[in-house]
Structure 1
Amino acid sequence: MKKRVDGEGIALLHDLDDCTGCYGCEAACRETWRYPYDEDWMRVLRRTPFVVDGKLRTYHVVAPVLDKCAACYAKDPNPLCVTGCPGQALRIGPLAEVVKEAEGRHCNIYTA
Structure 2
Amino acid sequence: MSRIDGGGIALLLDLDDCIGCFGCEAACRETYRYPYHEDWMKVVRREPVVVDGELRQYHLVAPVLDKCRVCYEADPNPLCVTGCAAQALKIGPLAEIVPQAEGRHCAIFTA
Shared fold, TM over 0.5: yes
2:16 counterpart residue number: 17
The answer to whether structure 1 residue 100 and structure 2 residue 95 are counterparts is no
1:46 counterpart residue number: 45
| Count of residue pairs the alignment pairs up | 111
Query: Which digits, 9 at most, give the CA deviation of each residue in 1:41-84, with x for residues without a partner?
Result: 00000012221221011110000000000000000000000000
How many Å separate the matches in 1 of 2:32 and 2:62? 16
Q: What runs of 5+ residues in structure 2 fail to find an aligned partner?
A: none
Alignment of 1:26-65 (within 5 A): 26-65=25-64
2:66 counterpart residue number: 67
Percent of counterpart pairs with the same letter? Answer: 75
Q: Please tell me the root mean square deviation across aligned C-alpha atoms, in Å.
A: 1.0
How many Å separate the matches in 2 of 1:72 and 1:82? 11
* TM-score, L = length of structure 2: 0.96
Q: What runs of 5+ residues in structure 1 fail to find an aligned partner?
A: none
How many Å separate the matches in 2 of 1:53 and 1:92? 30
How many Å separate the matches in 2 of 1:19 and 1:111? 19
* TM-score, L = length of structure 1: 0.95
**Shift in alpha-carbon separation, 1:77–1:47, aligned structure 2, 3 A:** same
The answer to whether structure 1 residue 109 and structure 2 residue 108 are counterparts is yes
Shift in Å, 1:4: 3.6
* Moved segments of 4+, more than 3 Å: none
